[in-house]
Amino acid sequence: MEFGLSEEQKLLQDSLTRFLKEQVSLDHIREVAAGESNDAMAWSGLSELGIPGLIIPESHGGVGLGMLDAVVVAEALGYHITPGPFISTAVIAPTMLMAAGQTERLTDVAAGQYRIGVALSEAIGSRLDAGISVTDGTATGKALFALDSEADSYLINGPDHSLYWVDAGDPGFSRKLLTTIDKTRTICELQLNKASVQLVSADPGVLLAGIDAGRVIQAADSLGAAQCMLDQAVAYSLQREQFNRVIASFQAVKHMCAEMASQLEPCRSLVWYAGHAMATASDDARLTACHAKAHLSEVAQFVARTSTEVHGGMGFTDLVGLHYWFKRIGANRQLLGSPELVREEAARAQNLVA
């Protein structure tokens, strides 16, 4: 049995890559990172391609594809460090809302007219007295590291892994932009002061489904970013000369590039299978999502460091811009759980630890 992408998935990948090459240049990324622009232009273009509705059923205006297709898209977006709320609005939020049977907003999401952020960090590990309490339909507290500071509403982890909906326009709602290393995507802190909330689901499985989907997409995003850094390192080594020879001819540089490729290439099948397992609701979907997130976090970090070393001093300058990919990989490593924490979750899922 040959496991690979279908012709339709390859066509999706190719058309998306062409769009990103034309519309999401390194200069645009610099503007977004500097706060001189935002992700609206890129997200509008992706909306025209149907990306926000990728996994939303056709009955709600979506494309009706699955998680493996979302993985293919995420890899391309990571390759171009594309700004935008893909992971939250197009993947995590629809996954949880469909699992909970709450599909009212999905048509607007699929059309690219509505953005849903997610604040799930406290479901993974509480920090700095964060967390919300809910009484009589109102919520008080704060949620850290919410994805997408421009969202129209948020899905927030509540007590006992329940899931709540809060509108960003509610009088009791406020948010504060957080500074992170990855400035191509926005992270914020949500502050609730008796904000009106709606219970989406009290089933912890709904929340876990969203977290698992997010981790698979983060793994794919890191895979794409690491592949781009590797490609840039190889291209640079074929141009840069020392002692009248391109540095690609030096054995040490050859070994560095070969080791990056040998560690990164097997990750692609792991990420693809994670997407396939999620799409088919396989018994090992949760376990595979954890391993994909943890393994890609470490391999991508190795590629990021090594490819920067191949560039030498140029790798640390903004002229090349490698640091944007480096920081995206670093942010993906921590958001939704570090490799150590995610592996512990995988061990608990197999009853290997208490």
pTM, rounded to two decimals: 0.94
Contact 190, 142 (CB under 8 A): yes
Show pLDDT as tens, one digit a residue, over the chain (354 residues).
Answer: 567 788 999 999 999 999 999 999 999 999 999 999 999 999 999 999 999 999 999 999 999 999 999 999 999 999 999 999 999 999 999 999 999 999 999 999 999 999 999 999 888 876 767 889 999 999 999 999 999 999 999 999 988 889 999 999 999 999 999 989 999 999 999 999 999 999 999 999 999 999 999 999 999 999 999 999 999 999 999 999 888 899 999 999 999 999 999 999 999 999 999 999 999 989 999 999 999 999 999 999 999 999 999 999 888 888 889 999 999 999 999 999 999 999 999 999 888 887
From 325, 341, 302, 282, select the one nearest 33 (Cα to Cα): 325
Identify the architecture of domain 206-349 in CATH. Up-down Bundle (1.20)
Q: What is the pLDDT of residue 97?
A: 97
CATH class of 7-110: mainly alpha
Strands (DSSP E) along the chain, which ranges? 116-119, 131-135, 138-147, 153-157, 163-167, 173-178, 187-201, 241-242, 245-246
Instruction: Please report the DSSP string for 156-225 in residue order.
Output: EE-GGG-EEEEETT-TTEEEEEEP-S-TTS-EEEEEEEEEEEEEEE--HHHHHHHHHHHHHHHHHHHHHH
Q: With b meaning 16 or more CB within 10 Å and e meaning fewer, what string describes 209-234?
A: bbbbbbbbbbbbbbbbbbbbbbebbb
Tokens of 7: 């012709």
Continuous segment of H or E residues that includes residue 312: none
| Residue found under tokens 């490593």 | 333
Rounded alpha-carbon distances, angstroms, from residue 260 to 81, 273, 287: 19, 21, 25
Which DSSP category does 241 fall into?
E
Classify domain 116-203 at the CATH superfamily level: Butyryl-CoA Dehydrogenase, subunit A, domain 2 (2.40.110.10)
CA distance 288 to 108: 31
- CB-count exposure of residue 13 (10 Å: 0-12, 13-18, 19+): middle
| Residue found under tokens 């500071």 | 149
Q: What is the pLDDT of residue 353?
A: 82
Q: Is the CA virtual torsion 175, 123, 208, 293 positive or negative?
A: positive
Rounded to a whole number of angstroms, the CA Rg of the chain reads 20
Half-sphere exposure of 68 toward its Cβ, with a 13 Å CA cutoff? 18
| Residue found under tokens 């608990």 | 348
Q: What is the pLDDT of residue 65?
A: 95
Amino acid at 60: H
From 76, 55, 72, select the one nearest 4 (Cα to Cα): 72
Q: What is the pLDDT of residue 349?
A: 87
For the chain, which residues make up each domain, given as ranges? Answer: 7-110, 116-203, 206-349
Q: What is the pLDDT of residue 2?
A: 63
